[in-house]
Amino acid sequence: MKAAATVEKLEALAQFGVCQPPAEPPVTSTPRPGLSTSVYKIVCEKRTLGLSLTTSADGLIQGMFFVEPPTGLNVTTGIYQLPARLTLPPGPGPFPAVVLVHGSGPHDMDETIGPNKPLRDIAEGLAARGIASLRYTKRTRQYKPANITLNEETIQDAVSAASLLRSTAKIDPARVFIAGHSLGAYAAPRIGQADPKLAGLILLAGNTRPITVLIDEQIKYLGGTPAQAEQMKRSLPAAYLEELAADPVPVAAALAMPMFILQGERDYQVTMEDFKRWQALKGTRVTLKSYPNLNHLFQPGEGKSKPAEYAVATPFAAPVLDDIAAWILSIRPPTPPSPPGQAQAARRETPHATQIPPGHVSTCPKTRYIPHPHSPSHKPPAKAAAQLMCNLLFGGEFGRTRASGKPKLFTHSAGSVVRTTDEPGFSERIHPYNAKLVAIHQHHLGFPASFCHPRPMWVTED
């Protein structure tokens, strides 16, 4: 390495003020035979950073870079160790968790763009909504490899991060998701393909058209010329451009896992034309939503989106965080089949009752009357009986009804749960597979499946 380059980089360190000698051992790796890379945590007055030194077997410095400082937690893929940060909600867990995957470029773990840190905003916003996350420094920032593929740039490390989350305390290993932004969203179906154990995918501003088309559109949008677009495309390896020309929609269509695809309608980098192509997947497994006033970083604004918006510190839109959290919390992993001989025991030991936290207030919905087939002409029951049945219908293990008697639970021989009260003649059955509540009158006089009034009927107690 040229001595002048080393001096220049050491002089650049002075901008961060007085720095202390490393107090911790470095994180080391062997990028290739004969070379060793050590990353030191340097604490300065104005910033803490990582100093990466690559040396040859004879002790000479071959490379020196400022990188992300070690965090004590790494996403490891082969020889690559990427500083990572786990963000947890308060409480004991286990929590659903999300791996946050960056867009294009050598990003830090926050995906810092000007004063904005979208991935940090997402991590902190999800934690406030009961969801954990893991974010990490991108390999192209920490190691600066040349001629890298999408698999090496993004997919491998996202799979490693998901594996790390599954083995982490307080994390529900069956509820680990991927949330990718921009290039990370484009790569998300391939990440899901590489890791079928994922609980689901969240795609934020993911393109469906080739990167070369996006470059042409962006340059034109910003007032540039076709020659400038060609120059930008020539700066990228041809093999990489070819890889990013692949259509992600068929890959996503072949996956069994649920997906949530989100798009800002003011985004000029990945546009609504890309979002329209994702709509071919819309169905029970795939949810799509667009936001009229958001740009590529999911920042609110008005009118035509411009790059200057990225230079203004604007947090990631809270309504999007609300939607992501609600979607994650709605996804439940499939129940694995019981081993032979244990199915009956499982049904006896695990009643399929609604679990309702203390302090929750339930509102009974408007419903219609369904007479029993043995007495189709039976009239709706009296209001008092309807209120009792409504309480039972929404009462959970942690609930107490305001009607007379506490609920009792026992297992039906078919695997359903029947809940009764001390009041004679009333019970209800909860089917374990479709969760439909079927009210049954013990004297076969015909009771409705549900007939509750649209107002709070009970609150649970500690």
CB–CB of 351/419 below 8 Å? no
Per the DSSP assignment, residues forming a β-bridge with 383 are none
Annotation says 102 is catalytic = no
Annotation says 163 is catalytic = no
What amino acid is encoded at 247 in this protein?
Answer: D
Among candidate residues 296, 305, 427, 450, the one labeled active-site is: 296
**Phi-psi map region of 114: left, alpha, beta (phi>0 left; psi -120 to 50 alpha):** left
The CB-side HSE value for 49 (13 A sphere, CA atoms) comes to 20
Q: Which two tokens stand for residue 354?
A: 């609604």
CB–CB of 241/147 below 8 Å? no
Q: Where are the alpha helices (DSSP H) in 31-109?
A: none
**Burial of 331 (C-beta count, 10 Å sphere; 0-12/13-18/19+):** middle
A 10 A CB-CB count for 23 gives: 9
String of DSSP letters for 190-247: HHHHH-TT-SEEEEES---S-HHHHHHHHHHHTT--HHHHHHHHHTS-HHHHHHTTS-
Location of structure tokens 């990013």 = 244
Compute CA 340 distance to the chain's CA centroid, rounded to the nearest angstrom.
34
**Phi-psi map region of 42: left, alpha, beta (phi>0 left; psi -120 to 50 alpha):** beta
Helical pair 226-234 and 211-221, crossing angle rounded to 10 deg: 140
- Cα 1 to Cα 6, 56, 137: the distances in Å are 8, 11, 25
Q: Which two tokens stand for residue 369?
A: 């009357």
Helical pair 118-127 and 318-330, crossing angle rounded to 10 deg: 50
Among candidate residues 52, 267, 305, 427, the one labeled active-site is: 267
- Cα 170 to Cα 127, 306, 403, 404, 444: the distances in Å are 13, 41, 38, 40, 48
Among candidate residues 52, 104, 163, 182, the one labeled active-site is: 182
Location of structure tokens 């220049």 = 8
CB–CB of 427/440 below 8 Å? yes
Q: Which two tokens stand for residue 231?
A: 């120059």
Annotation says 431 is catalytic = no
A 10 A CB-CB count for 384 gives: 10
Indicate which residues carry an active-site annotation: 182, 267, 296
